[in-house]
């Protein structure tokens, strides 16, 4: 004979956990059974979050977050403040999400001792997109190259507002000369997701190319990054 019913005791499992899901459908158990590739974006995010709140499960929170940022790729463009404003994500959970996104991003970045040669705009974009392709604010930097166009280092020089970044030739070529570069690639991202150059981008490129001629440091290309897309001044015939 089972235990007597106690008034006030919940008759169903508590909300905000995975207990209401069948065991084989719970994200952690499903990951053990199928591996991470067998989980949906919402299930992976639910594992990162750990649990939900009150009457909302971690899966429900994940669905809400992904809908708010327009899918998993939208997470890469969120700041801590952006995520904290979403219902169900406090500062701690928002930090967990950002940390998971950054870890994933870093797994795609090549080891620093890999002196890769960047021989084409596509190779430049492939090198830069994992680190800088999707950011919530505009960032400007340069890739320093040796005489054979092998990567010496990447230097981030400016972090601007959502739609603008201030860059001065003096800062660009101080970093290039200080790093022993024979040539450089300019790059920046467009948080809008559209890599099409603006009028300011065109003017800045012309200004930096001219300064490079004076300094004896070639500006090989200017690549604009946006999520998984890019736009190259060299490919467009503007360099």
Q: What is the pLDDT of residues 93-109, one digit of tens each?
A: 999 998 998 888 777 76
Clarify whether residues 125 and 100 are in a common domain. Answer: no
Contact 172, 184 (CB under 8 A): yes
What is the model's pTM? 0.65
Q: Is it the case that residue 19 has pLDDT exceeding 80?
A: no
Number of domains in the chain: 2
Q: Cα separations (Å) of 231 from 126, 146, 156, 228?
A: 12, 23, 19, 11
What's the CA gap between 144 and 147, in Å, rounded? 10
Most confident of 128-142, 159-173, 213-227: 213-227
CATH of the domain at 42: 1.10.150
CATH of the domain at 155: 3.40.140.10
Contact 77, 192 (CB under 8 A): no
Mean pLDDT for 160-177 is 81
Clarify whether residues 132 and 197 are in a common domain. Answer: yes
Instruction: Find the domain containing 86 and state its range.
Output: 23-107
């Amino acid at each position: 004979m089972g235990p007597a019913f106690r008034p006030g005791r919940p008759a169903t499992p508590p909300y905000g956990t995975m207990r209401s899901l069948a065991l084989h459908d719970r994200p952690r158990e499903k990951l053990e059974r199928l591996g991470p590739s067998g989980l949906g974006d919402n299930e992976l995010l639910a594992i990162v979050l750990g649990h939900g709140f009150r009457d909302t499960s971690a899966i429900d929170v994940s669905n809400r977050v992904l809908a708010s940022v327009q899918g998993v790729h939208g997470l890469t463009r969120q700041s801590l403040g952006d995520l904290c404003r979403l219902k169900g994500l406090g500062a701690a959970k928002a930090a967990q999400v950002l940390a998971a996104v950054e870890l994933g991003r870093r797994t795609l970045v090549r080891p620093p001792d890999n002196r890769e040669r960047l021989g084409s705009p596509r190779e430049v974009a492939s090198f830069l997109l994992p680190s800088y392709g999707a950011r919530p604010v505009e960032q400007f930097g340069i890739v320093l190259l040796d005489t054979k166009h092998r990567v010496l280092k990447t230097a981030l020089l400016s972090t601007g507002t959502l739609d603008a970044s201030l860059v001065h030739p003096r800062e660009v070529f101080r970093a290039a000369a200080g790093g022993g570069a024979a040539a450089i690639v300019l790059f920046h991202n467009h948080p809008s997701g559209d890599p099409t150059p603006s009028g300011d981008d065109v003017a800045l490129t012309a200004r930096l190319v001219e300064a490079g001629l004076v300094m004896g440091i070639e500006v090989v290309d200017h690549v604009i990054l946006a999520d998984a897309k890019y736009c190259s001044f060299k490919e467009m015939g503007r360099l």
